[in-house]
Structure 1
Amino acid sequence: MLTVMQGALDMELSAPALGCLQSGMAPRPAVRTLLDRGHSFDALKLIARLLPKVYVVAWLCDCTRDIPLEWNDRAGVALANAWVREPNETHRYAALNFWTADPKRTLGAWLAAATGWSGGSLTPPGAAEVPPPDKMTALAAMAVINKLSMLDSATFESRREAFVERVIHLLPNA
């Protein structure tokens, strides 16, 4: 399992955020500390990296639940939800193809990317396997949460914090 400090370094947390963390800190207190000290972007980076990938994708789908979305965003959410319900290569690869086909990099495409980059290979079936870097799902999750938070720019920071709060309970407390 990835430690808090490994995740923090992997996700390139800011120096002030790194200064808030202690060696051996459990995931939930680490993310809580970052939120409490005003480092919501760093908290987002860390939680997106520490959670299991299927939890990350399920969280992103949940965050879109009450938000009116365009058809292409709904399609990306549907592909991600299919993978969460049945995390297999068919669903993962369908999501990866959706990402590849969307040059606008919409919210739905980023959610599909989080799914498609969760494991397996980035190449088509039958080609030499190229696994995605391990932090790619977390990077896509950051894009999704930031895009969702921008839907109401007056409350961007508080919305981002609320999205992190939605899932912090899934992190180990010790």
Structure 2
Amino acid sequence: MELSAPALGCLQSGMAPRPAVRTLLDRGHSFDALKLIARLLPKIYVVAWLCDCTRDIPLEWNDRAGVVLANAWVREPNETHRYAALNFWTADQKRTLGAWLAAATGWSGGSMTPPGAAAVPPPDQMTALAAMAVINKLSMLDSAAFERRREAFVERVIHLLPDA
């Protein structure tokens, strides 16, 4: 999750996670703050956060279906729920918000191949990349307030990071 050069210039060596994300937000680097928080949080927290961000937003049926699958995995993080989400991602050729949320879930661990096939674990950063897509898509629902919305989504979860 490479941060931009200007964002890196704002951070100090050895900075704790919460102050690092706070510094990026305060200096106007919301995209880099999003990258960092999506990578630092445990994957189940990332998926729960994404589900929470969609709670009060009217979404299309297919987006809601992705939220339902992700919520099922958060409540009961097992391979059945994870594979259901991964299959939803695979089937959604439009790469909707719901599909990206399902991808964040499906890429949280396990294997990307069907049960019984040789295991192929997802690269570690995949859940964070899908989370960035979800937050950016949610932020674009009000393009006039894109940056403010993205910052607000990061603010929702920053308290979960260690501050020391």
TM-score tier by shorter-chain length is: over 0.9
**How far off its partner does 1:21 sit?**
1.2
CA distance in 2, matches of 1:47, 1:130: 25
CA distance in 2, matches of 1:50, 1:12: 13
**How far off its partner does 1:114 sit?**
0.2
SS of the counterpart of 1:157? helix
TM-score by length of structure 1 reads: 0.94
Task: Give 5+ residue unaligned stretches, structure 1.
Answer: 1-10
CA distance in 2, matches of 1:153, 1:20: 27
Residue correspondence of structure 1 range 90-129 to structure 2 within 5 A = 90-129=80-119
Q: Give per-residue Cα distances to partners, 1:70-126, cap 9 Å, x unaligned.
A: 110000000000000001111001000000000000000000000000000000000
CA distance in 2, matches of 1:73, 1:57: 14
CA distance in 2, matches of 1:116, 1:32: 29
**How far off its partner does 1:23 sit?**
1.4
CA distance in 1, matches of 2:116, 2:14: 42
TM-score by length of structure 2 reads: 0.99
Mean alpha-carbon deviation: is it higher for 149-158 or for 19-28? Answer: 19-28
Identity of aligned residues (%): 95
Q: Give per-residue Cα distances to partners, 1:40-65, cap 9 Å, x unaligned.
A: 00000000000000000000000000
**How far off its partner does 1:24 sit?**
1.0
SS of the counterpart of 1:132? coil
**How far off its partner does 1:19 sit?**
1.0
CA distance in 2, matches of 1:164, 1:147: 14
Q: Give per-residue Cα distances to partners, 1:116-142, cap 9 Å, x unaligned.
A: 000000000000000000000000000
The root-mean-square deviation of aligned C-alpha atoms, in Å, is: 0.4
Aligned length: 164
CA distance in 2, matches of 1:57, 1:76: 11
* Structure 1 segments (4+ residues) deviating >2 Å: none
**How far off its partner does 1:170 sit?**
0.3
CA distance in 2, matches of 1:34, 1:61: 24
